[in-house]
Homo-oligomer: A and B are copies of this chain.
Amino acid sequence: MTAPVSAETLDRLRHVATATLSTQLFKLGLRNTYLTGLRPASPGLRMVGEALTLRFVPAREDLATFENITRADYPQRAAIEGCGPGQVLVVEGRGIESAAIGGDIYLNRLKVRGAAGCIVDGCVRDFASIQALGLPVYARGAASPPHPARHLAVAWNVPVGCCEVLVMPGDIMVGDDDGVVCIPRHLADEVARTGADLDALEAFVLEKIRAGAPVPGTYPPDEKTRADYEAWRQRNK
């Protein structure tokens, strides 16, 4: 998590579909970068940012007490107060659907701090309020119970497993209506660049398909389609 990811890369990623990004990662040999099982609380929003991670383990009655979980250094609270502008809080929640890991107080705080989004492998509460917040939030759904009913936060800024995908602190998280993809930080520049190219090509292909072109020859493009595309691209610069 040393070198900063360039603004250019982040900007490109804001315009590339997660479908395209996962294709490019797949071509690089990365088969497990999509966080299966989440849905966007607010469809239509896009999310791009660096991962700040938070890890929960199963609750135990002697440790998941209200006294413990309201300490300032409790990892959940530390992570939220440690979240900086442009970061995405990524929460290992073990897929639990019977309790929330937080609600509108914590998510409003993230928004005030400039977070780029929040990803929860689990549930959130105050769902209607969160949907209206304008912050991209991806979760399994809504649940009313407070987090100590099922969870105890034990660490932040460590590698986490989220929806059976490894997320390292500093990886680049991208989300759209298809879901969330984790881009290993060292590959962000590459997939942003090749992804933007592929997206442009697919926009052209889609136009052709809508106009009646058959799939073979059009996608993937044969020589003629590729030539047409290059011409189209020149025109649309």
Number of interface residues of A (CB under 8 A): 86
Residues of B within 8 A of A223 (CB): none
Answer yes or no: A87 CB below 8 A from chain B CBs: no
Option from B128, B159, B184, B214 in Cβ contact (under 8 Å) with A154: B159
Copy count, this protein chain:
6
17 new A-B contacts, CB < 8 A, other than A109-B215, A126-B178, are A17-B125, A19-B145, A26-B146, A27-B66, A32-B59, A39-B141, A59-B166, A62-B186, A63-B166, A70-B220, A105-B205, A108-B206, A108-B210, A128-B176, A142-B178, A143-B178, A144-B181
Residues of B within 8 A of A106 (CB): 215
Known: A109-B209, A112-B209, A155-B158. A97 touches B178 (CB 8 A): no
Option from B22, B77, B166 in Cβ contact (under 8 Å) with A145: B22
Interface residues of A, Cβ cutoff 8 Å to B:
17-19, 21-23, 26-27, 29-34, 36-37, 39, 43-44, 57-63, 66, 70, 72, 77, 80-81, 94, 97-100, 103-106, 108-109, 112, 125-128, 141-146, 148-149, 152, 154-155, 158-161, 164-166, 168, 176-179, 181, 184, 186-187, 202, 205-206, 209-210, 212, 214-216, 219-220
